[in-house]
């Protein structure tokens, strides 16, 4: 059998990433009607970057941010979505996702595989202004979904406010304005009874 052409490899990759549409996340759509899938999340957070890039902590290459967000969750095709507050799943998350990155990006011609893998690695390292802003958006989006669906995923998974506050801290690194918005969403959700905030006893 002759080696696959570049076009055949690219189409194989395009067909493979269709599977992202079947990966369910814990978060619900804003209206609470059903859980979102990861492809929907990736599309939504990428458009979020297009609209909100002026709020980045430092000037960013907006096109680079969009590229980072388009590839950042492709590994979930193999690794699945690890819920942000799943401590056990988080222990194996990195190894699962690195193996997935090798396989999925490896479907492409070598130069493209390297290019997309470098984008994924940049996002994961969160060291560039673009990656930090992309991470801020990725962490804010589920908070928006929860705040607007009466904390449905938070309540279903027994998530408490301090855990959400802790996760929200990194949002300010990429965007102080969005970090402030995250804190407002958390406190308003607590006040509305949509996010549990157990207080220590006397």
Q: Domain segments of the chain: what residues?
A: 6-191
Banded model confidence at residue 1, pLDDT cuts 50, 70, 90: low
Give the DSSP letter of residue 58. S
What proportion of the chain, given as a percentage, has pLDDT over 90? 86
For residues 61 and 130, is the Cβ–Cβ distance under 8 A? yes
| Residue 74, burial from CB neighbour count under 10 angstroms (0-12, 13-18, 19+) | buried
pLDDT at residue 2, rounded to an integer: 64
* CA neighbours closer than 13 Å in the CB half-sphere of residue 145: 25
Coil, helix or strand at residue 124: helix
For residues 161 and 195, is the Cβ–Cβ distance under 8 A? yes
Q: pLDDT at residue 44 above 70?
A: yes
Phi-psi domain of 103 (left: phi exceeds 0; alpha: psi -120 through 50; beta: other): alpha
Looking at domain 6-191, its CATH class is mainly alpha
Q: 102: which strand partners?
A: none
The pLDDT of 36-49, averaged and rounded, is: 97
pTM for the complete prediction?
Answer: 0.93
The pLDDT of 193-200, averaged and rounded, is: 87
């Amino acid at each position: 059998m002759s080696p696959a052409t570049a076009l055949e490899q690219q189409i194989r990759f395009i067909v493979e990433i269709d599977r992202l549409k079947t990966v369910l996340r814990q978060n619900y759509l804003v209206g609470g009607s059903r859980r979102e899938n990861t492809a929907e999340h990736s599309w939504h957070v990428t458009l979020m970057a297009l609209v909100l890039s002026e709020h980045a902590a430092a000037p960013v290459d907006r096109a680079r941010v969009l590229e980072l967000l388009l590839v950042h969750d492709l590994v979930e095709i193999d690794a699945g979505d690890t819920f942000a507050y799943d401590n056990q799943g988080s222990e194996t998350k990195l190894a699962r996702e690195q193996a997935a990155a090798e396989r999925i990006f490896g479907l492409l011609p070598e130069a493209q595989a390297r290019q997309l893998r470098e984008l994924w690695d940049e996002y994961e390292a969160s060291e560039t202004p673009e990656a930090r802003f992309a991470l801020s958006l990725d962490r804010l989006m589920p908070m928006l979904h929860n705040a607007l669906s009466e904390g449905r995923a938070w309540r279903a998974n027994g998530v408490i406010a301090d855990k959400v506050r802790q996760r929200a801290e990194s949002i300010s690194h990429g965007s102080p304005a969005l970090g402030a918005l995250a804190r407002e969403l958390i406190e308003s959700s607590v006040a509305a009874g949509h996010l549990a905030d157990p207080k220590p006893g006397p």
